[in-house]
Structure 1
Amino acid sequence: MLAMANLTLVYGLRLLPSDEIAAVGEAPIELKNGNSARVTMHLLEGSREQIEAQLKQSIDAFFDFFPEI
């Protein structure tokens, strides 16, 4: 079995009043090699419990894309 490289999960969280959001874009990332990458931002709405449930489901689904991790 090959050893996996160390990985970094990039994410951000912020709570705002739902009626104040006009648009959500991508967040830029600068890499040490001079390249850049972008992170798609996701929007979750609802009560605290609903947001927590959606976030947990989203994280589980994200890692389903990478079963080798």
Structure 2
Amino acid sequence: MANLTLVYGMRLLPADEVSSVGDATLALKNGNEAHVTMHILEGSREQIEAQLRLSIDAFFDFYPEI
């Protein structure tokens, strides 16, 4: 299997400051575009960390061949 690239971003903001979140657009070398769905996790540090761990596990469940 070829090497893979995981694209992600994180930014921590006060919960009441976020009004909307959109997709991130990636430019591919072949001239095409790809889109990354952005997600929001809210709560205490511990709650966010637990949700993030579950999200990462679920993400890789979509790709059992990896």
TM range (shorter): over 0.9
Q: In structure 2, what is the equivalent of residue 39 of structure 1?
A: 36
1:24 aligns with 2:21: yes
Compute the TM-score of the two structures, normalised by the length of structure 1: 0.93
- 4+ residue runs over 4 A deviation: none
Task: Give the fraction of aligned pairs with identical amino acids, expressed as a percent.
Answer: 77
1:1-69 equivalences in 2 (<5 Å):
4-69=1-66
- Runs of at least 5 residues in structure 1 that lack an aligned partner in the other structure: none
Higher relative contact order (CA 8 A, sep 6+): 1
Structure 2: unaligned runs, 5 residues or longer: none
In structure 2, give the amino acid aligned to 1:30. A
Looking at structure 2, the residues matched to 37 and 62 of structure 1 have their Cα atoms a distance apart, in angstroms, of: 17
Query: How far is the alpha carbon of 1:5 from its aligned partner?
Result: 1.2
Q: TM-score, normalised by structure 2?
A: 0.97
Matched residues, number: 66
The structure whose Rg is larger is 1
